[in-house]
């Protein structure tokens, strides 16, 4: 179909404008598309995260000028709720005693909820064997009042300013606790209430900001909490037994003006699912009920009214598992009973917005059940950033997203097209990163890209334009894939397309949407690539040897130079598809600018393809 339509657009560009206008009108009235996001708060919540980038970026670069005193590590408390947890205890304790964090600074609080197996006996045995390694070790029993109530008891008993809430069905990487506490200690003004650790093999797919690492809610499978913030907002909601209690507390933290942070370099291996896409009855019942409670407490009228069709759908549609419909009806009775209780909360912070998306909350990244792995080999990766004058804010944010990478063996090569105005920005980062700057005369994107490749020392290379961002696992995911597939020449992942409204001086912008084009969901096929490009430039990590063998970007091309490059690099080679969203790239938000841009791309199509095919066929 593309082969038929493309020549028509090339000859009659105005037809694309008509097509785009029709698509916009269709999207506006597409009830099926917009039903999951009827809440007016969804975009406002994301906008609030995006707006924080600018203050965060300015603060970060200003503080680079000042030296910071090293802070001593504090005592922390760890809260663990157990319920028939025998099979998890040994591996959990073993991962604790191997932590890089001093065990003498850790107080353990185990709260058992009426276990009927030998959980208590095993905890006592572990205490006898390892208790003297820790500052203290406490074991308590109480009625099974739910996840939040169990941790609340431990927090009330604790004496430290930081409390780590954790499930017992996980194990810690050696530096997990050290990394999350070290991050918390940088918050000198106490603006953050919690710091969420990263879960593997299935990373929680909710959106977080690639620059600030802030998020609208945190999973409490493993999270570090500031006790003073916990006490200020009133702690876990006692009427939520399990599931959604973490979202509720996250929303309450933000309603009181606190922020939440994600710590991707603090890793735990969480064994919550026996298999991908598993539906657990207790999770189904608890999360659907909790979602209704949160809508009543934090939602607007639309959010609250949405409870009715959401629950009707659960009743009339096919059961998720045997007995799920009965659970739904039972939940409805609870909602009616507790409606007034959950409707009584008054929001404290005027900038607080609570997103709701069906039975989920925040925007989610593709790849929820794509298994993540930590790299065993760590070859050097060169990230080539192309920039030019007047884009200081964009470049700084781009660089911060690189500094947030979980993969650390990276060199950053910044090439400015048309001067050396960014030199001071790069110099300020030189103590914190392996970064190099090159100023060039005004030579264009293709030439600056090649200059970056020439000066790259890494085994692998990646292009990242200064207005694009990468999530913390971007390089890690691609490196692991290539190391597992040594025959492959490149790996590519999914990306958000983000229409962005940029002000004239490029110092500020708003992001209008986050979506992934259907054509991106494409396992590697060279024949498909010869028709159209299906990965953005920052999505691809490739072997440096490709540049040495097949040359760099075609410097005669102004548009579609990346597609031309991939056509030459992929010929008789293999690229590996990673079905996970790990980056975002921008396009202009205004439809006229988009139309003009598409017209130029259509004009460049034949030339870019012909030049690539001429090379590969030689």
pLDDT one-digit tens code per residue, 494-503: 999 999 999 9
215 and 152 together in one domain: yes
249 and 298 together in one domain: no
Please state, in angstroms and rounded to a whole number, the distance separating the CA atoms of residues 47 and 50: 5
> Does residue 101 surpass a pLDDT of 60?
yes
Q: Which residues pair with 354 in a beta bridge?
A: none
Assign 208 to helix, strand or coil. coil
Please state, in angstroms and rounded to a whole number, the distance separating the CA atoms of residues 493 and 305: 38
443 and 556 together in one domain: yes
Mean pLDDT of the 508-531 span: 95
Residue 428 · residue 401 · CB < 8 Å: no
306 and 420 together in one domain: no
Q: Which residues contact 109 (CB under 8 A, 6 or more apart)?
A: 77, 78, 79, 80, 138, 140, 154, 157, 158
Residue 574, phi then psi, degrees to nearest 5 = -120, 130
In a domain? residue 255: yes
When mean pLDDT is compared over 66-80, 271-285, 461-475, the highest value belongs to 461-475
The structure tokens listed for 85 are 């947890």
pTM of the model: 0.92
pLDDT reported for residue 34: 45
pLDDT reported for residue 590: 86
pLDDT reported for residue 14: 47
Q: Tell me the pLDDT tens digit for each residue of 409-455.
A: 999 999 999 999 999 999 989 888 899 999 999 999 999 999 999 99
Of 342, 371, 392, the residue that ends a domain is 342
Mean pLDDT of the 477-498 span: 98
pLDDT reported for residue 599: 80
Q: Tell me the pLDDT tens digit for each residue of 328-341.
A: 999 999 999 999 99
Q: Tell me the pLDDT tens digit for each residue of 372-405.
A: 999 999 999 999 999 999 999 999 999 999 999 9
In a domain? residue 417: yes
Give the chain's mean pLDDT: 91
pLDDT reported for residue 612: 86
> Does residue 246 surpass a pLDDT of 90?
yes
pLDDT reported for residue 564: 95
489, 467, 267: which is closest to 386 by C-alpha? 467
Look at 137 and 589; give whichever has higher pLDDT. Answer: 137
Of 213, 248, 270, the residue that ends a domain is 270
pLDDT reported for residue 349: 83
Helix, strand, coil shares of the chain, percent, nearest 5, are: 45, 20, 35
Q: Which residues contact 142 (CB under 8 A, 6 or more apart)?
A: 111, 112, 113, 149, 150, 153
pLDDT reported for residue 22: 53
Q: Which residues contact 283 (CB under 8 A, 6 or more apart)?
A: 243
Look at the chain and report how many structural domains it folds into.
3
Residue 213 · residue 187 · CB < 8 Å: no
pLDDT reported for residue 275: 67
> Does residue 32 surpass a pLDDT of 60?
no
Of 270, 292, 307, the residue that ends a domain is 270
Look at 321 and 126; give whichever has higher pLDDT. Answer: 126
Mean pLDDT of the 306-325 span: 89
207 and 286 together in one domain: no
In a domain? residue 411: yes
182, 111, 107: which is closest to 146 by C-alpha? 111
In a domain? residue 59: no
Assign 456 to helix, strand or coil. coil
297 and 213 together in one domain: no
266 and 285 together in one domain: no
In a domain? residue 9: no
> Does residue 37 surpass a pLDDT of 80?
no
- What is the 3-class SS of 286-352, one letter each residue? HHHHHHHHHHHHHCCHHHHHCHHHHHHHHHHCCCCCCCHHHHHHHHHHHHHHHHHHHCCCCCCCCCC
Q: Which residues contact 567 (CB under 8 A, 6 or more apart)?
A: 529, 530, 609, 612, 613, 616
413 and 547 together in one domain: yes
pLDDT reported for residue 8: 54
pLDDT reported for residue 65: 65
Q: Which domain holds residue 388?
A: 381-616
In a domain? residue 104: yes
> Does residue 31 surpass a pLDDT of 50?
no
Please state, in angstroms and rounded to a whole number, the distance separating the CA atoms of residues 120 and 83: 9
* Residue 603's pLDDT band (cuts 50, 70, 90): confident
pLDDT reported for residue 35: 47
* Residue 33's pLDDT band (cuts 50, 70, 90): very low
In a domain? residue 64: no
Q: Which residues contact 301 (CB under 8 A, 6 or more apart)?
A: none
Mean pLDDT of the 498-519 span: 95
489 and 588 together in one domain: yes
Mean pLDDT of the 468-479 span: 98
436 and 395 together in one domain: yes
pLDDT reported for residue 19: 52
Mean pLDDT of the 344-350 span: 80
In a domain? residue 34: no
CATH code of the domain covering residue 130:
3.90.550.10
388 and 492 together in one domain: yes
Mean pLDDT of the 511-526 span: 95
% of the chain residues with pLDDT over 90: 80
The structure tokens listed for 323 are 């007995």
491 and 556 together in one domain: yes
């Amino acid at each position: 179909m593309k082969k038929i339509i493309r020549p028509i657009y090339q000859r009659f560009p105005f037809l694309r404008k008509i097509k785009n206008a029709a698509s916009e009108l269709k999207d506006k009235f597409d009830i099926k598309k917009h039903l999951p996001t009827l809440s007016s708060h969804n975009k406002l919540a994301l906008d609030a995260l995006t707006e924080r980038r600018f203050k965060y970026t300015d603060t970060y670069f200003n503080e680079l000028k000042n030296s910071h005193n090293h802070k001593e590590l504090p005592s922390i408390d760890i809260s663990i709720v157990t319920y028939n947890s025998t099979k998890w205890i040994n591996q959990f304790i073993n991962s604790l005693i191997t932590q890089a964090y001093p065990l003498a600074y850790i107080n353990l609080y185990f709260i058992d909820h009426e276990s009927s197996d030998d959980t208590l006996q095993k905890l006592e045995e572990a205490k006898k064997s390892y208790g003297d390694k820790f500052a203290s070790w406490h074991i308590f029993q109480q009625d099974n009042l739910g996840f939040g109530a169990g941790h609340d008891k431990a927090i009330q008993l604790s004496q430290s300013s930081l409390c780590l809430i954790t499930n017992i069905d996980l194990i810690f990487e050696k530096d997990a606790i050290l990394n999350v506490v070290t991050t918390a200690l940088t918050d000198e003004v106490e603006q953050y209430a919690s710091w969420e650790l990263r879960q593997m093999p299935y990373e929680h797919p909710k959106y977080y900001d690639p620059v600030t690492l802030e998020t609208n809610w945190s999973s409490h499978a493993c999270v570090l909490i500031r006790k003073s913030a916990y006490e200020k907002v009133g702690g876990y909601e006692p009427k939520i037994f399990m599931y959604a209690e973490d979202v509720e507390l996250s929303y309450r933290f933000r309603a009181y003006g606190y922020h939440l942070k994600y710590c991707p370099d603090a890793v735990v291996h969480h064994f919550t699912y026996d298999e991908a896409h598993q539906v657990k009855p207790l999770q189904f019942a608890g999360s659907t009920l909790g979602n209704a409670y949160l809508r009543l407490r934090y939602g607007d009228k639309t959010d609250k009214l949405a409870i009715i069709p959401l629950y009707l759908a659960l009743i009339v549609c096919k059961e998720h598992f045997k007995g799920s419909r009965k659970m739904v009806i039972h939940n409805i009775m609870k909602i009616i009973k507790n409606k007034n209780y959950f409707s009584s909360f008054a929001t404290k912070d005027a900038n607080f917005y609570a997103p709701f998306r069906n039975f989920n909350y925040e925007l989610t990244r593709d790849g929820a059940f794509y298994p993540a792995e930590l790299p065993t080999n760590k070859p050097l990766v060169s990230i080539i950033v192309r920039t030019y004058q007047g884009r200081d804010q964009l470049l700084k944010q781009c660089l911060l997203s690189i500094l947030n990478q979980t993969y650390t063996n990276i060199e950053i090569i910044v090439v400015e097209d048309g001067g050396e105005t960014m030199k001071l920005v790069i110099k300020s980062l030189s103590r914190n990163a392996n970064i190099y700057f090159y100023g060039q005369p005004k030579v264009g994107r293709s030439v600056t890209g090649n200059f970056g490749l020439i000066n790259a020392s890494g085994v692998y290379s990646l292009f990242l334009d200064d207005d694009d961002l990468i999530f913390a696992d971007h390089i890690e995911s691609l490196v692991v894939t290539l190391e597992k597939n040594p025959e492959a020449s490149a790996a590519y992942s999914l990306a958000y397309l983000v229409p962005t409204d940029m002000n004239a001086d490029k110092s500020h912008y708003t992001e209008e949407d986050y979506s992934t084009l259907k054509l991106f969901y494409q396992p590697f096929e060279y024949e498909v690539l010869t028709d159209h490009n299906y990965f953005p430039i920052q999505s691809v990590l490739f072997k440096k040897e490709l540049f040495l063998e097949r040359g760099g970007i075609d410097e005669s091309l102004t548009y579609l130079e990346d597609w031309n490059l991939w056509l030459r690099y992929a010929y008789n080679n293999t690229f590996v598809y990673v079905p996970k969203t790990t980056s975002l790239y921008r396009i202009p938000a205004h439809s006229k600018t988009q139309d003009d841009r598409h017209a130029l791309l259509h004009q460049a199509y034949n030339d870019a393809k012909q030049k690539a095919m001429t090379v590969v066929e030689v």
